[in-house]
Amino acid sequence: MPKFKPSILLIFCLFWADKLLAAPTQFNIKLGMSVALSGPASEIGRQLALGSQIYFEQLNKNGGVHGALVELDVKDDRYEPSHTVNNTRYFIYEKKVHALFGYMGTPTTSAVKSMLEHAQTPLLMPYTGAEFLRKKPKFKVFNLRASYLDEAKEQINHLVDELGHSKIALLIQADEFGITLQKSLTTALRMKGLAPQAIGRFRRNTNEVEKALNQILQSEATAVAMVGTYEPLAEFIRLSQQHKKQLAFTTVSFASSEGLLSKLSHPSQLMITEVVPNPASCKGNICDNFRALLNAQSQPLTHAIFEGYLNALVFSRAAKMCPLPFNNNCVLKALQNVINQDLELRHLFKISPTQKKLPIFRSYHT
């Protein structure tokens, strides 16, 4: 029987030791997340990422998905499309992630459509209600939030039917996010036989709302449906109050209700549409577990953190319905099955035989 030379034997052992040590991680599930971690909208992105990270950390401590750990790679895009494109290129072609996860924003997500179509890497649970993600896109996507059209209808119902306003102006962020919601709000107004009283615009990632405010004040509007992030919207409300103008306000879930409300020092007639229930008061095991984890880490119970947490939870439950290695088509089918069949999620989102759409919730500042 031939003998191995010591050096060859050592090389042989090291080679296979390396293979064996690598084996447990070769089927790990890699997700790429591009959100604002810096800049004026950073509170939204940081909270979305935190919610997902908290859930995945707990999942991985308990064995992951069939033994595979979920690796969430979070990159900062400052809520600017050009940075999102760079992050996405890295995730798909260098990191080779299995899916893009929890992307934040309409203009940022829209900027990567061509890459999504080419690579067919799925986009899961984007933080946007834009219609282009719902009308037969040419790429793989799964949405876990109501559409902006649904949010717009809820806001106009509130302003018109509940508060009696007919002169409603729009404050619009001047980008694809604003354009999308301007269309949705105009559609919702048209359904009531109304049109926008005025439309004021401001640039993304700025608080330059004075021109838009003057335009809206001159229109004699009595209510304003606002589209933007928390900083410029808070500035708009503050400036309108300085003019002693008693306006009613609405805005969409993307604005971050906690971020916006924390910057308002005086009462305002503000209603914010939400796509997840209030994490501080919702009922059920999912809510109880979320509050326990957040309280243990001394973290606030915000809608954005809860949405990030729910995104991770739903993804993980779907992934567990599929064998390893990770298969996009299987997980995409499983995601819809989870929403349709998981009793805890159906209870949380109030889904029933008569209510099949994801619902709209509300927050107020009065």
224 domain residue, yes or no: yes
Q: In what order do the strands lie in the sheet with 248-251?
A: 199-202, 168-173, 223-227, 248-251, 269-274, 361-365
68 domain residue, yes or no: yes
- Total domains in the chain come to 2
Q: What are phi and psi of 75, to 5 degrees?
A: -125, 150
Of the candidates 274, 292, 326, which is a domain's last residue? 274
Considering the domain architecture, whether residues 137 and 283 belong to the same structural domain is answered as: yes
Model's pTM, two decimal places?
Answer: 0.91
Considering the domain architecture, whether residues 46 and 77 belong to the same structural domain is answered as: yes
Amino acid 366: pLDDT: 82
Q: What is the CATH number of the domain that holds 141?
A: 3.40.50.2300
Q: Which residues pair with 99 in a beta bridge?
A: 31
46 domain residue, yes or no: yes
Of the candidates 274, 290, 311, which is a domain's last residue? 274
Dihedral class, residue 74 (left if φ above 0, else alpha if ψ from -120 to 50, else beta): beta
Amino acid 244: pLDDT: 83
Considering the domain architecture, whether residues 157 and 199 belong to the same structural domain is answered as: yes
Of residues 168, 150, 170, 154, the one with CA closest to residue 227: 170
Amino acid 14: pLDDT: 41
* pLDDT tens across the length of the chain (366 residues): 444 344 444 433 444 444 333 334 458 999 999 999 999 999 999 999 999 999 999 999 999 999 999 999 999 999 999 999 999 999 999 999 999 999 999 999 999 999 999 999 999 999 999 999 999 899 999 999 999 999 999 999 999 999 999 999 999 999 999 999 999 999 999 999 999 999 999 999 999 999 999 999 999 999 999 999 999 999 999 999 999 888 999 999 999 999 999 999 988 999 999 999 999 999 999 999 999 999 999 999 999 999 999 999 999 999 999 999 999 999 999 999 999 899 999 999 998 888 878 999 999 998
Tokens of 356: 């099949």
Considering the domain architecture, whether residues 138 and 286 belong to the same structural domain is answered as: yes
Integer angstrom CA distances of residue 363 from 224, 226, 257, 276: 16, 15, 7, 11
Of the candidates 249, 274, 299, which is a domain's last residue? 274
Task: Provide the domain limits for residue 203.
Answer: 148-274
